[in-house]
Amino acid sequence: MTEQQPQKKKGINTFSTFYLIILLIFVVSMWFLFRAIIFYQEGLMDEFMTSTLIAAMGLATSGYMLFQMRRRTEAITAMVQKSEVVSVLECAKCGFKNLRKFLKGDHVFKVVELCPRCSADSLMITAIYQQEDEKAKSQA
Amino acid sequence: MSFISQIAPTDQVSQLINLLFQVAYPLFFIIFLLYGNKLQVRTWLWDIEKSLNKLKIMRDKTKQITIDTLKDTGKTSDDMMARLDRMMEFFLIEPVSLDPAGIVGKLDHLITLEEERFKEDIRLITPSANDIQINNYSLSVEVAAALNTFYRVVRHYYVQGKRTKSIYSIMQLQMSMPLIMEMAESYSKAAEAIAAGQPIGDAAGAMVAGKLMHGMPTRKVAKDTVMAEVPMDGRALLVLKAEGPGGTVGKPGDGIVNLIEERNGKIAMLIMIDAGLKLEGEKSGEAFEGIGAAIGGPGVDKFKIEEVLTKYKIPVNAVVIKESMVESISAMKKSLIDGVDDSIKRVRRLIAEKTKEGDTIIVAGIGNTLGVAQ
Ligand SMILES: [Zn+2]
């Protein structure tokens, strides 16, 4: 855990710098677009064309960069968010079933605690598995 | 007046730019014609280098996880690091195959020796560990060693490619990198599951056997392998699996041979359940049925099983739970648990359909039994 914390922080810093650059490009492109409208109104067609081109290129670049960043952020959060491993506890007597986080030392068929519902039998771990999120499922 | 008109090219500047473009344009062609391949090789080498660094990080992380788990047990020997390094570079020289007769026996001998050597070394590092822990730790070290091999082999071809500048060898390496990295990533994920003692996907077969034999008295039939006699619909099931919950595959080959020999071959059927590799696009956890000894590994167990089956003419059915390479060595997924339940139904159906009352049937759950008792 202690190892992961600084890594995450550094990642966010680089991300915010990138977002700042994207914002900057976007603002500059908008400014060129604004100029283009004025040139058009003044009838300066050459200047209008140049400004429009620059604005379009800037907008496309910032849009593309934003899209790429989104994808990367998603990929990283998917990597950081480890799917949780759970132990399934079941009572053979009354059928009581409970899911809890995997604890070290857990294994399938391990008898853990007295059944909270019927108190007649102990709960046994019947399965240990990694919870799948829907996205991973559709990919598999 | 405005920014644009200020930077708008004057005639001289525009002429200069024109000239520049006229020179640069053919120059680009010439550069790409002459140095295109070299540039390509550079990019490939750069790609490989990035992956190589990632491999190194993964290897070191896995090693660290192993060290942390070893330390958890209590006192560790002072020369732990040196020992671990030695174990990670450990190798097995395969027997010569020029004269293949009897090669399986030789291979079996060597593999057994290797396993024992690993466990002995672990025991020397952590004298207070119990057998289950020893099994888990040797599995952990195996994973770390596998990642080390990945790193060493990739580095070998990388350095070689860089030195010889052979475009084809670099291209081959670059093209196989995604698959290598996927495999390495699954190994590094496996390390965490193994260190925690969580069942991995490969445990599916062992879990089927475990569920069938749970609650029955067990006995050892081979090294790290247990069996229980389970009555079912008037038949006697001899259910066999590796002894859990430590991380071991046991010796299912020896176990099955011993069980069959004990009863002088009076076995109506052998059913083997194992996790099998699915094809890309197939659903994980689906169970398939077939004929044959469903068991992976170097082939020693498979050979022994096939020999004894042929000797006594015993029919063999296989139930395979499909999963990907990554799934087979990372913490078990819910879909595989469903596959386990499905497999049990299939085993019951096979027994009902293909055998009659009074028969004795061997049901062998193959795979690593990490985190699964009996
Ligand atoms: Zn209960």
Domain end: A63, A81, A99, which one?
A: A81
Q: Which residues pair with A81 in a beta bridge?
A: none
Q: Does residue B183 form part of some domain? A: yes
Q: Between A39, A109, A130, which is nearest B332 by CB?
A: A130
* CATH code, domain carrying B333: 3.40.50.1470
At residue A42, the 3 state secondary structure works out as helix
Tokens in use for B227?
């069996």
Mean pLDDT of chain B: 89
CA of A91 from ligand 1 middle (Å) equals 5
Element (H, E) at B220: strand B218-222
Same domain, A97 and A109: yes
At residue B116, the 3 state secondary structure works out as helix
CA of A120 from ligand 1 middle (Å) equals 6
Q: Which of A9, A4, A5, A6 is nearest to B64 (CA)?
A: A4
Residues of B in contact with A121 (CB under 8 A): none
Q: Identify the pLDDT of residue B6.
A: 54
Asked if residue A9 has pLDDT above 50, the reply is no
Q: Which of B349, B302, B292, B341 is nearest to B321 (CA)?
A: B341
Q: Does residue A8 form part of some domain? A: no
The amino acid present at A88, given as its one-letter code, is: V
pLDDT per position as a tens digit, B220-258? 999 999 999 999 999 999 999 999 898 899 999 999 999
Give the separation between CA A36 and CA A25, rounded to whole angstroms: 16
Tokens in use for B332?
């078990």
Residues of A in contact with B8 (CB under 8 A): 47, 50
Pairing of strands B235-242, B360-365: parallel
CA of A111 from ligand 1 middle (Å) equals 13
Q: Does residue B9 form part of some domain? A: no
Same domain, A21 and A75: yes
Q: Are A118 and A91 in contact (CB under 8 A)?
A: yes
Domain membership of residue B63 as a residue range: 38-196
Mean pLDDT of the B274-302 span? 91
Say if B4 is an interface residue toward chain A (CB within 8 Å). Answer: yes
Residues of B in contact with A105 (CB under 8 A): 197
Asked if residue B316 has pLDDT above 90, the reply is yes
Give the separation between CA B84 and CA B127, rounded to whole angstroms: 15
Same domain, B148 and B207: no
CA of B233 from ligand 1 middle (Å) equals 28
Q: How many domains does chain B fold into?
A: 2
Beta carbons of A47 and B4 less than 8 Å apart: yes
Say if B188 is an interface residue toward chain A (CB within 8 Å). Answer: no
Q: Does residue A53 form part of some domain? A: yes
Residue B144 contacts by C-beta under 8 Å, 6 or more apart in sequence?
B59, B62, B63, B66, B84, B88, B191
Q: What is the DSSP letter of A117?
A: T
Same domain, B148 and B77: yes
CA distances from B336 to B16, B204, B342, B358 (A): 69, 7, 9, 32
For residue A130, with 0-12 CB atoms within 10 Å meaning exposed, 13-18 middle and 19 or more buried, which class applies?
buried
Beta carbons of A50 and B334 less than 8 Å apart: no
Domain membership of residue A46 as a residue range: 14-81
At A2, the pLDDT band (50, 70, 90 cuts) reads very low
Tokens in use for B40?
């390509």
Q: Does residue A99 form part of some domain? A: yes
Q: Which of B198, B196, B335, B249 is nearest to A128 (CA)?
A: B198
List the single range of B6-15, B51-60, B209-218, B358-367 with lowest mean pLDDT. Answer: B6-15
Give the separation between CA A43 and CA B337, rounded to whole angstroms: 72
Same domain, B113 and B53: yes
Tokens in use for B9?
């090219």
Q: How many domains does chain A fold into?
A: 2
CA of A115 from ligand 1 middle (Å) equals 5
At residue B219, the 3 state secondary structure works out as strand
Nearest CA in chain A to B212: A109
Domain end: B196, B217, B251, which one?
A: B196
Give the separation between CA B368 and CA B345, rounded to whole angstroms: 21
Q: Which residues pair with B225 in a beta bridge?
A: B222, B242
Length, in residues, of chain B: 374
Same domain, A63 and A77: yes
Tokens in use for B30?
């010439």
Residues 67-86 of A with CB under 8 A from B: 85
Give the separation between CA A79 and CA A72, rounded to whole angstroms: 11
Domain end: B164, B196, B228, which one?
A: B196
Q: Identify the pLDDT of residue A78.
A: 65
Q: Between A50, A104, A108, which is nearest B196 by CB?
A: A104
Beta carbons of B334 and A47 less than 8 Å apart: no
Residues 89-128 of A with CB under 8 A from B: 102, 104-110, 127-128
CB pairs below 8 Å between A and B: how many? 73
Same domain, A51 and A99: no
Mean pLDDT of the B2-30 span? 72
Q: Which of B261, B374, B370, B361 is nearest to B316 (CA)?
A: B361
Domain end: A38, A54, A81, which one?
A: A81
Burial annotation B355-366 (CB, 10 A radius, 16+ → b, else e)? beeebbbbbbbb
Same domain, B142 and B226: no
Q: Which of B189, B187, B153 is nearest to B172 (CA)?
A: B153
Same domain, A69 and A90: no
Is the pTM for the entire model greater than 0.80? no
Domain end: B196, B218, B242, which one?
A: B196
Tokens in use for B341?
């339940």
Asked if residue B173 has pLDDT above 50, the reply is yes
Q: Which residues pair with B273 in a beta bridge?
A: B319, B365
Q: Does residue B233 form part of some domain? A: yes
Beta carbons of B284 and A104 less than 8 Å apart: no
Same domain, A36 and A63: yes
Q: Which of A112, A101, A75 is nearest to B331 (CA)?
A: A101
Same domain, A77 and A23: yes
CA-based nearest distance A132→chain B, Å: 7
Q: Which of B365, B253, B273, B368 is nearest to B320 (CA)?
A: B273
pLDDT per position as a tens digit, A89-111? 999 888 889 899 998 889 999 99
Same domain, A76 and A87: no
Mean pLDDT of the B324-342 span? 91
Same domain, B189 and B208: no
CA of B237 from ligand 1 middle (Å) equals 29
* Residues in the 5 Å CB sphere of ion ligand 1: A 91, 93-94, 96, 115, 117-118
CA-based nearest distance B318→chain A, Å: 23
Asked if residue B269 has pLDDT above 70, the reply is yes
How large is the angle between the packed helices B131-164 and B103-125, nearest 10 degrees?
A: 110
More confident site: B123 or A5:
B123
Q: Does residue A63 form part of some domain? A: yes
Mean pLDDT of the A108-115 span? 89
Q: Are B285 and B321 in contact (CB under 8 A)?
A: yes
Tokens in use for B349?
């159906």
pLDDT per position as a tens digit, A26-51? 999 998 898 889 888 888 888 888 88
Q: Are A18 and A73 in contact (CB under 8 A)?
A: no
Work out the end-to-end distance of chain B between its first and last CA atoms, rounded to an integer number of angstroms: 86
Domain end: A81, A111, A126, which one?
A: A81
Asked if residue A138 has pLDDT above 50, the reply is no
Interface test with B, best of A86, A107, A132 (most B CBs within 10 A): A107
Q: What is the DSSP letter of B275?
A: E
